[in-house]
């Protein structure tokens, strides 16, 4: 099977009171479904589809998504991204997201699932102009637990840089071994099916009246931590005993935040 060098480019703009895709281009394995305009939240919903079995050795995925002033875009995926065993080589993903002042972007893909023996690196660069807003969620779930594929990758590295008005406000590098992640899950009281989530909220609002409500979601196998960035936003961390609890925790968090950030009320499953 040939290696994929997939490329995706999306440019969203505001026109006549709605958000439209002013520019789009993609190459396999990326594919875009027909966009859906959610009039209730004023958000354009776009689903990025990978019609292949998953991510294999040699695959290189690149995406560039930009949102203009006055536009609001939610990008999601219909299914998890599975990174399969690699007997040689590795796979990588590089993604760049940019939001102009007055624009809004939510990136909420389905979870990443690393399988036994995979080697994968994902680099995310986010740039938000002053007055722009963003919610970025990155979820991580174990491979086939019944086949002892929980946290037995060869290499996994997830990097995130976030800049607000050109200033670096967040830099993270998630590069644990599978054994380290198992130890972390055990410390939290979770078993081999433990799942992890990372979310970033960029906003100029300084009022965090929602913070206590989000923390109150904890319990029954779900843990959430919220911390303020050095400027312009918040970092949210999730640990859940399984995928059901992780998804429910993120869904409830979005619901609580939507009172302050109405675009988060857009239902990603409408497509």
Whole-number Å distance between alpha carbons of 156 and 27? 25
What confidence tens digit (pLDDT) does each residue in 22-78 have?
Answer: 999 998 888 898 899 999 999 999 999 876 778 999 999 999 999 999 999 999 998
Query: Quick one: 188 exposed, middle or buried, by C-beta within 10 A (0-12, 13-18, 19+)?
Result: middle
Whole-number Å distance between alpha carbons of 101 and 70? 8
pLDDT at 256: 96
pLDDT at 188: 62
Q: What is the pTM of this model?
A: 0.93
pLDDT at 149: 74
Q: Is there a cis peptide before residue 127, judged by omega within 30 degrees of 0? A: no
pLDDT at 190: 62
Of residues 220 and 271, more confidence is placed in 220
pLDDT at 157: 95
pLDDT at 179: 77
What confidence tens digit (pLDDT) does each residue in 91-144 have?
Answer: 999 999 999 999 999 999 999 999 989 999 999 999 999 999 999 999 999 877
What confidence tens digit (pLDDT) does each residue in 223-265 have?
Answer: 999 999 989 999 999 999 999 999 999 999 999 999 999 999 9
The CA–CA distances, whole Å, from 213 to 36, 95, 228, 255, 268 equal 30, 31, 16, 11, 22
∠ CA 269-110-72, nearest 5°, is 60
Average pLDDT over residues 151-166: 94
> Given a cut of 70, is residue 271 above it in pLDDT?
no
Give CB contacts under 8 A, 24+ apart, made by 176-184: 178/150, 178/151, 178/152, 178/153, 179/151, 181/151, 182/150, 182/151, 184/239
pLDDT at 189: 61
What confidence tens digit (pLDDT) does each residue in 169-210 have?
Answer: 999 999 987 777 777 766 666 666 788 999 999 998 877 789
> Given a cut of 70, is residue 8 above it in pLDDT?
yes
- DSSP tag of 204: S
Total count of residues recorded for the chain: 271
pLDDT at 269: 74
């Amino acid at each position: 099977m040939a290696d994929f060098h997939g490329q995706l480019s999306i440019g969203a703009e505001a026109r006549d009171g709605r958000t439209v895709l002013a520019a789009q281009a993609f190459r396999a394995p990326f594919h875009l479904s027909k966009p859906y305009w959610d009039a209730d939240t004023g958000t354009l919903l776009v689903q990025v589809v990978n019609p292949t079995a998953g991510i294999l050795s040699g695959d290189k995925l690149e995406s560039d998504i930009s949102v203009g002033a006055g536009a609001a875009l939610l990008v999601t995926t219909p299914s998890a991204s599975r990174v399969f065993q690699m007997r040689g080589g590795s796979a990588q993903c590089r993604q760049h997201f940019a939001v102009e002042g007055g624009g809004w972007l939510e990136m909420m893909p389905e979870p990443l699932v690393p399988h036994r023996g995979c080697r994968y690196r994902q680099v995310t660069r986010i740039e938000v102009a002053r007055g722009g807003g963003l919610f970025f969620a990155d979820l991580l779930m174990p491979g086939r637990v019944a086949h002892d594929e929980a946290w037995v990758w060869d290499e996994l590295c997830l990097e995130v840089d976030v800049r607000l008005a050109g200033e670096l406000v967040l830099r993270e590098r998630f590069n644990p071994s599978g054994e380290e992640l198992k130890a972390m899950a055990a410390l939290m009281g979770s078993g081999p099916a433990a799942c992890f989530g990372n979310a970033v909220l960029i906003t100029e609002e300084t009022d965090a009246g929602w913070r206590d409500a989000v923390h109150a979601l904890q319990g029954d196998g779900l843990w959430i931590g919220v911390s303020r960035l050095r400027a312009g936003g918040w970092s949210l961390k999730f640990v859940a005993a399984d995928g059901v609890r992780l998804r429910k925790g993120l869904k409830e968090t979005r619901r609580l935040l939507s009172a302050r950030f109405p675009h988060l009320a857009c239902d990603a499953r409408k497509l």
